[in-house]
Chains A and B, each alone.
Chain A
Amino acid sequence: MMETNTKVILIVSIVVVLIIAGAAYLLYKPAPSQAVKIVVAARKGTYSEGLKLAAKEYEAKTGIKVEVVEFDYAGLHEKLAQEVVQATGAYDVVMMDDPWLPEFASSGLLVPLDSLLAQRGGVDPDFIGSAVNVCRYKGKLYAIPYVGNVQLFVYNKQLFAKYGLPEPKTWDDVLHAAEVIHDKEGIAGYVFRAAKGNPIVTNLLPIFWGSGVEVVDNEGNVDLDTPRAVQVFNFILELKRYAPEGTENFNSPEVKAALANKATAMSIVWPGWVPNLDTKVWKVIVPPGSKPMIGAWLLGIPKSSRHQKEALDFILFVTSREMQKKLALEAGVPPTRKSVYQDPDVVAKYPWYPVQLSALENSKMRPRLPQWKRIEDTLANYWHQAFTGQMSPEAALKGAAQEVRAILKGG
């Protein structure tokens, strides 16, 4: 009896598998290519939703189909890194985090846009200067800024009023307020987005910058192992005492949840998270202590693309004034044009936009180094170990400095 049953299971599963395989092949046989299609490689999230919205409009307007393929942060970087060598032409438009630009520009992946744009009137001065700057490498333009991301800071103004705390202007203010609120209110005073990788680096850098430690600069000077830097890290560890349990593994979803639940009183935020915050409770300001970190997302064109002209048309469409306003209002995508930040309809919906604009105009970018991805990973490794108590700050910063110097030397 067992034999027959097993045979039946076997036959059924083989048949099922074959059916699925056949069906899938039939369904996904590449359609005979008629119209031009543009493929966009994007990072999954709010901004890719914006691209999809724009894609629909673009298709309605021009008949050109735009497909948005989504990846997570690390996956997108990996795909682009592969594309440098494979040059498959799979993507016509690539979305990039601004620190990646030096890497992909220097390795020759991206089409330089200066001459192409010159034919269309050059770079529109409506774009915010700092956003355009991160699209340049060694003076040449390689991308157009799509998302005007800049780090902002929110604090619970109700709680601050309750305890008579002033608006934080320095990180010492933050620490003091965190301590007070943690002790008196019983919630976390501050929350770190400290998951290993890109999150912990982008979250701790502003604290270093705010105390005058560059970490790494554009020329490759490293001041990561100075006594001042160690002081800063000890400060960070002290601030951690008022942070929620598990903060060392928090990524965007967890921080957003903490803010939504009012489980914390302060946090660094990216603009995309702000629309979901109750403005009666939270006030949006420029991060205390130093120039805010810009984290723009850019759109570029790989040299391997077979539809470069159409790609550029789409990019200019997405970043046009009308589209940026629409995406800001409907998808919550922070714009990169001054006029949109000052548009009355937009400001009515997002009252903190003037703050964001001034933050962008005064923003600071991460070092323009092609090896940034490796440097970021190295910093993340060491900082995360020190943050979770596996290493002392001195040892971690020393180790990190050593490795970063080696990477910059070409090792």
Chain B
Amino acid sequence: MRAGRVLVYVLVALALAWTLFPIYWVAVTSFKPNSEVITKPPTWIPLHPTLEHYYRLFAEEHFHVYIANTAVVSLGSTLLALLLGAPASYAVARSKIGAAAGRGFLAWNLVVRMFPPIVMAIPIFTVFRQLGLIDTRLGLIIAYQVYALPYTIWLLNGFFRDIPWELEAAAMVDGASTLQTFARVALPLAVPGIVTTVILSTIQTWNEFLYALIFIYSQEKMTITVQIAGYIQEFKIEWGLLASSGLVSSLPVLALSAAVQKYFTRGLALGRGVKG
């Protein structure tokens, strides 16, 4: 038994080390001057710590522009998905369109989430070209509905289903229309679920790369993921800037993830259709 317990702690320690080492290493690198990055043997704690890479990131590379772009695009697409998806998932959750149609709609959303995103990219790209939506943040927000809308619908469906029906039934008995019930009774009750959905969907589009690469190519509209990909090609051994940009990009997402920690498992389970 004792050996068993020791083994457990050893394994946990290994898992922690495995998880944290890359992050620690990159964090340290972001504070090292580039000359120190390529010394051998490597230094585990910076000998000459510097903030130059963070300074450069904002003062020279204008990284705040890319953060703003990413924020605008991911929040924008989430809000659009909410506008489109909340009514739809409510209608399905309350069987307003019939049970079969509702199940079919949800199933379609699930199937769509399985498609590799590149499959939709080319046709959307050609249509956007005609409409002049290429290289616009609005275009990317619309394209991101491929990710955000099914996700939002699926998550909100679960949250709406969890709200006890009685309050809405009471409202309808009192003469409220479906729309009024939805807006005045269901939505307010679903706020925690909506907040969770907003955060999860924002995280998803914040991290997205393929569509951001395809649909935007002007420097000033780029998102952070595409920028960082550029830095990877560009800074072959001068990793200071790459490290600082990676860390800075991760902070907002980590903060958001922390906020929904406790909903995470639930969101996952609901999101994947397995009751947990």
A–B: direct contact at CB < 8 Å = yes
By a beta-carbon cutoff of 8 Å, the part of chain A in contact with chain B is: 6-7, 9-10, 12-13, 16-18, 20-21, 23-25, 27-28, 44, 69, 72, 74-75, 78-79, 82, 85-86, 88, 90, 251, 253-254
B43 within 8 A of A: no
Inter-chain contact count A-B, CB under 8 Å?
65
Residue of A nearest to B255 (CB): A13
Mask, B202-218, CB within 8 Å of A = 1, is 00000000000000011
Smallest CB separation, A97 vs chain B (Å): 17
> Among the listed B64, B129, B135, which residue makes an inter-chain contact with A20, where contact means beta carbons less than 8 Å apart?
B64
Contact B218 A24 (CB under 8 A): no
Q: How far is the CB of B255 from chain A (nearest CB, A)?
A: 4
Which of B29-37, B101-109, B181-189, B233-241 lies at the interface? B233-241
Report if A85-B252 is in contact (Cβ < 8 Å); known contacts: A20-B71, A24-B64, A72-B230. Answer: no
A69 touches B219 (CB 8 A): yes
Q: Are B259 and A90 in contact (CB under 8 A)?
A: no
The answer to whether B259 touches A9 (Cβ under 8 A) is yes
With known contacts A28-B65, A44-B234, A72-B234, A90–B255 Cβ distance under 8 A: no
Residue from A20, A28, A254 in contact with B67 in the complex, judged by beta carbons closer than 8 Å: A20
Residue of B nearest to A3 (CB): B262
Nearest 9 pairs of A and B residues by beta carbon: A24-B68, A13-B255, A10-B259, A21-B68, A21-B71, A17-B71, A24-B65, A253-B236, A6-B259
Contacts of B64 in A (CB 8 A): 20, 23-24, 27
Cβ of B135 and Cβ of A24 under 8 Å apart? Answer: no
Is B134 in the interface zone, CB < 8 Å from A? Answer: yes
Which chain B positions have C-beta within 8 A of A88? 135
Given contacts A69-B219, A90-B218, contact A17 B252 (CB under 8 A): yes
Q: Is the pair A79, B217 in contact by a Cβ cutoff of 8 Å?
A: yes
Q: B166 an interface residue at 8 Å Cβ cutoff?
A: no
Per-residue contact bits, chain B 70-97, to A (CB 8 Å; 1 contact, 0 not): 0110010000000000000000000000
Q: A9–B69 Cα gap in the complex (Å)?
A: 22
Q: Which residues of B contact A13 (CB under 8 A)?
A: 251-252, 255-256, 259
Contact partners of B178 in chain A: CB under 8 A: none
The answer, yes or no, to whether B13 is at the interface (CB within 8 Å) is no
